[in-house]
Amino acid sequence: MTPRPPRFAGFASRLAPSIEAYLRLKTALGRRYSAERTTLRALDAFLTTVDDDLTTDTFAAWNATLGRLTSGVHRNWLRVVRNLCLYRRRTLPDAFVPDPTGFPKPHVSVRPYIFTTAEIVRLLHAADRLDATPRSPLRRETFRLAIVLLYTSGLRRGELVRLTIGDYDPCDQTLLVRESKFHKSRLLPISSDASRRSRRICARVGDTGIRSPQRVR
């Protein structure tokens, strides 16, 4: 039996067929596109109120309603819509495509703060003082491992909190980081210390009967 294509309910504007076809294509390629879907729902809702297609004028009018967004988020929303328009132009040569030179400028990069060795040691000591809870009996061990991973592997915070026990491979000493930036997954080698602590937590999970996945809490 051929699986049914995913449905994307809630789109009602004249642009709805293009949005739905675009999302079906992206999800078929393995991408979640949840944030992009939120942007396209907002555009679709606006076009429904004006009962018009996406044109230079309607795009400018919708863009004017996005002043509440920060410049970086605003730019990304417009970029998402432009990608949809480029997809649409494959079958409609005259379809409108916004000019990216008029998009807001990206955020100025924030200068990163580099933790000193002494600060990391204090964080590890603080983790050792954490009390276990009914929902997180390995709270102390989990937070200590989290600090080690963040400090030694370059994981992003969002990647860290999505990790589960099953993402750790003790043989290869790697972590499977699922659908991270740009919707891609990757294998990340970790340090011997992080691997040793990961094995300890896996063993404790088995000893205590905790069901995996065990996430940072």
The residues assigned a catalytic role are 156, 181
CA distances from residue 210 to 53, 127, 169 in whole angstroms, order as listed:
54, 20, 19
8 A C-beta contact, residue 54 and residue 43: yes
